[in-house]
Structure 1
Amino acid sequence: MDAALIAATFIIAGFVKGVIGLGLPTIAMGLLGSLMPPSQAAALLVIPSIVTNLWQMAGGPGLGPLLRRLWPMLAGIVAGSWLGAGLLTGANTGAAMAGLGLALLAYAAVGLLPWKLPRVPPRREGWAGALVGAATGLVTAATGVFVIPAVPFLGALGLSRDELVQALGLSFTVSTLALALSLGAEGVFSAQLAWGSAAAVLPALAGMGLGNALRRRVSAEVFRRWFFLGLLALGAQLLARGLG
């Protein structure tokens, strides 16, 4: 795999994250998943995802209260990833590619549709979070994408903007660590891919810096719309290739 192409992928993915606050793993998986087995693409995104999401998580108003509130969802993510271990690394790469395409299509549809999930009542956050976390963990283990259904659920908790950004960083960090453990247990996260993943950190951070600069000059909502339209096309292409 061409190192320049991997670097360009993470610059683009970091740029998107810099503008709208999320999307680095999704973009990286979508682009790299069309060029290599999805399990290898997932291994490459591990370290850039951890670094950028720790940065995002550390900049919020208060990590302790969020951990106490979201721990059932986070535990569910770990459990779901463990239950789904091996789905992404199996011999049927076509099925993994089709699953990745479906995950991108679902995420794009959620982002483009005008409706939002109703507010989750506080008394239901615990068990609902555990179920959402388990589903997110299974999707992560099968596709390397960890935004569905975690992102819509977090958006329905009534968090402030800063709390939501920090909660996303927390959720994505746990999902990435769970994915790394799953890939490591299956022997996919090799030393060579680990070095490649580490080398992708700088392009990802450079892209984030560019995206942060652009965020002040363009409408984030317009950019989000084009982002989700692009994911829609990418997801459809991966689905067709996986089923073909």
Structure 2
Amino acid sequence: MDIVVIVAAIAVGAFVKGVTGTGLPQIAIPIMAAILGVERAVVIMAIPGIASNAWLVWANRDAAAATRDLRVLTATGIVGAVAGTIVLTAVNGRLLSVALALVILGYVLVVVRRPHLSLPPRLTRWTSPPVGMMAGGLHGATGVSGPLLTTYLHGFALAPPAYVFSVSVLLLVFATVQVVTIAGLGLYTADRLLDSLLALVPIAVVLPLGHRLSRRLPTDVFRRTVLIGLVVTAVVLVVNAVRG
């Protein structure tokens, strides 16, 4: 039964990721962690993170010119990802989850009151470096940086393909750094590597289906879908933190 639950979680997460650019680790890792433990779940999902984000980057490559702040977000995120992975076994996941949920809900409330909110370049030139650092740190420590990146990049008001491309590039870089660091720390075993490769099967089947749907969504519907996903993510983060 456990394997069925894990495969279902990965499949659902892959579909959501195909639609919005994020969602795979947010959905899969908490469920896997409850069965396998946090460290093992994070390690197993790192390689699938590279594969799924690489696919989305390629699928949305035509939108690369419409992105913003990717270089600085990537550079600072790499530093954060290394630091976060090193403290993987010592991080207070419950505290991080609650703090992140509060940030997400605060942003959603602001957007609900100001639907056309857009973060101008003159502001993001200052905010992108610390956000990149925090997102990388979250990814390294918990395997989940999507909620923070999604919240921040949603404020850029990018077209859906550019938005998905931006999120996927960052997550691809973070996942790559994470895998290299995990390997360097000796956290990979033969069993964990095999589990990582097996996790690619449901992702390969379901991810393209979600991406196909995202291409058909109007921009306003896409942005609302992302907001709904953020609210759900925040609730899940709080519930998981309370349950411990």
| TM-score normalised by structure 2 residue count | 0.79
d(CA) in 2 for partners of 1:85, 1:43: 10
Deviation of the 1:53 alpha carbon? 0.9
Q: Secondary structure at the match of 2:62?
A: coil
Deviation of the 1:225 alpha carbon? 5.9
Q: Which of the two has greater helix per residue?
A: 2
> What is the match of residue 80 of structure 1?
80
Tell me: CA distance 1:81–1:65, structure 2 relative to 1, closer, same or farther (3 Å): same
d(CA) in 2 for partners of 1:53, 1:208: 10
For the pair 1:41 / 2:44, whether they are aligned, the reply is: no
For the pair 1:30 / 2:26, whether they are aligned, the reply is: no
Deviation of the 1:234 alpha carbon? 2.4
Deviation of the 1:5 alpha carbon? 2.9
Q: Secondary structure at the match of 1:170?
A: helix
The residue type paired with residue 30 of structure 1 is P
> What is the match of residue 60 of structure 1?
61
Tell me: CA distance 1:110–1:208, structure 2 relative to 1, closer, same or farther (3 Å): farther
For the pair 1:175 / 2:174, whether they are aligned, the reply is: yes
The residue type paired with residue 53 of structure 2 is N
d(CA) in 1 for partners of 2:185, 2:136: 16
| 1:105-124 matches, cutoff 5 A | 105-106=101-102, 109=105, 112-115=108-111, 118-122=118-122
The percent identity for this pair of structures is 24
The residue type paired with residue 119 of structure 1 is L
d(CA) in 2 for partners of 1:131, 1:217: 32
> What is the match of residue 241 of structure 1?
243
Contact 1:180–1:189 under 8 Å retained in 2: no
Contact 2:6–2:31 under 8 Å retained in 1: no
Tell me: CA distance 1:129–1:220, structure 2 relative to 1, closer, same or farther (3 Å): closer
Query: In the TM superposition, what whole-angstrom CA distance separates every residue of 1:213-236 from its partner, at most 9, and x where no partner exists?
Result: 665599656755654454344222
d(CA) in 1 for partners of 2:43, 2:235: 24
Contact 2:20–2:164 under 8 Å retained in 1: no
For the pair 1:13 / 2:13, whether they are aligned, the reply is: yes
Stretches of structure 1 that go unaligned for 5 or more consecutive residues are: none
The residue type paired with residue 132 of structure 1 is V
| 1:92-103 matches, cutoff 5 A | 95-96=92-93, 98-99=94-95, 101-102=97-98
Q: Secondary structure at the match of 2:34?
A: coil
For structure 1, which segment, 37-46 or 153-162, has the greater mean C-alpha deviation from structure 2 after superposition?
153-162
For structure 1, which segment, 101-110 or 145-154, has the greater mean C-alpha deviation from structure 2 after superposition?
101-110
d(CA) in 2 for partners of 1:217, 1:158: 15
| TM-score normalised by structure 1 residue count | 0.79
Deviation of the 1:168 alpha carbon? 1.0
The residue type paired with residue 101 of structure 1 is S
d(CA) in 2 for partners of 1:9, 1:28: 5
Aligned-residue RMSD, C-alpha: 3.2
Stretches of structure 2 that go unaligned for 5 or more consecutive residues are: none
Deviation of the 1:75 alpha carbon? 1.1
Deviation of the 1:111 alpha carbon? 6.8
Tell me: CA distance 1:78–1:21, structure 2 relative to 1, closer, same or farther (3 Å): closer
Deviation of the 1:99 alpha carbon? 4.2
Contact 2:67–2:163 under 8 Å retained in 1: no
d(CA) in 1 for partners of 2:212, 2:71: 33
The residue type paired with residue 20 of structure 2 is I
For the pair 1:145 / 2:152, whether they are aligned, the reply is: no
> What is the match of residue 130 of structure 2?
131
Query: In the TM superposition, what whole-angstrom CA distance separates every residue of 1:122-163 from its partner, at most 9, and x where no partner exists?
Result: 4x5455322211111222222221125333332334533322
Aligned length: 236
Q: Secondary structure at the match of 2:87?
A: coil
